Amino acid sequence: MRFCSSCGARIGLATPSGDDRERFVCTGCATVHYVNPKIVVGSVCTLGDRLLLCRRAIEPRVGYWTIPAGWMEVGETAEQGAIREAWEEACARIEIEGLIAVYSIPRIDQVQILYRARLLDADVAAGPESQEVRLVGWDEIPWDELAFPTVTWVLRRASELRGQEQWTTGFNPEPI
């Protein structure tokens, strides 16, 4: 960040009064410009004993497999974001059934909120961010071709939870 979005003056690093760390502060109007972690939302989408994987068509990690996931947008709940991402990446209509994991990754300034979801039908197709999409069995997951560590982590966790009460009970998110 180089210039203030409020007044256009230069930005500098300073520790605001009462704060405990350096922030981007405007040298003109003293506005503090906070930089916070980005939220990623996504879901492990299943239809019977198969799950949905998407081969990435965009960087980072073009050509590697992932679950439908991406940045949460302003004005939506985490659940709404996961539903939107499934549609954008795989033309998949889903119903969120529960939370699988929340991963805090300070190294890349992300918090990832990952759900389990039920595909409402098998009619899926690659969206603009996917080269291809595929419904695979749990024993067909291409572990060596997964795009990110969190995809590996959430698929392992989802696999552990299958058949347990946490996996089979319903989930009805109520936005606050």
State whether 162 and 109 are in the same domain: yes
Mean pLDDT of 31-52: 97
Using the structure block, give the residue that is written with the tokens 């068509």. 57
Per the prediction, the chain carries an average pLDDT of: 94
Residue 95 lies inside a defined structural domain of this protein: yes
Indicate which CATH number applies to the domain containing 29: 2.20.70.10
Quickly state the pLDDT bin for 168 (edges 50, 70, 90).
Answer: low
State whether 22 and 87 are in the same domain: no
pLDDT at 27: 97
Give the domain extent around 15. 1-35
State whether 99 and 135 are in the same domain: yes
**pLDDT tens-digit profile of 97-122?**
999 999 999 999 999 999 999 999 99
pLDDT at 87: 98
Quickly state the pLDDT bin for 172 (edges 50, 70, 90).
Answer: very low
State whether 124 and 110 are in the same domain: yes
State whether 92 and 58 are in the same domain: yes
pLDDT at 166: 57
Residue 108 lies inside a defined structural domain of this protein: yes
Residue 176 lies inside a defined structural domain of this protein: no
Indicate which CATH number applies to the domain containing 63: 3.90.79.10
> Please, what's the b/e burial string for 9-30 (b: 16 or more CB within 10 A of its CB; e: otherwise)?
eebeeeeeeeeeeebbbbeeee
State whether 164 and 148 are in the same domain: yes
pLDDT at 176: 43
Question: Could you tell me the sign of the dihedral formed by the alpha carbons of 130, 132, 136, 142, in that order?
Answer: negative
Of 48, 136, 127, 56, which Cα lies nearest the Cα of 92? 127
Q: For residue 78, give both structure tokens.
A: 């985490």
For the whole model, what pTM was predicted? Answer: 0.87
How many domains, the chain? 2
State whether 18 and 71 are in the same domain: no
Of 49, 138, 130, which Cα lies nearest the Cα of 90? 130
The share of the chain scoring above pLDDT 90, in percent, equals 91
Using the structure block, give the residue that is written with the tokens 């040298």. 27
Residue 174 lies inside a defined structural domain of this protein: no
State whether 51 and 118 are in the same domain: yes
Residue 175 lies inside a defined structural domain of this protein: no
State whether 12 and 64 are in the same domain: no
| Rounded Cα gap, residues 163 and 7, in angstroms | 56
Q: Encode 95-144 in three state secondary structure.
A: EEEEEEEEEEEHHHCEEEEEEEEEECCCCCCCCCCEEEEEEEEHHHCCHH
Of 92, 47, 50, 49, which Cα lies nearest the Cα of 69? 92
| Ramachandran assignment for 63, one of left (phi > 0), alpha (psi -120 to 50 degrees), beta (any other) | left
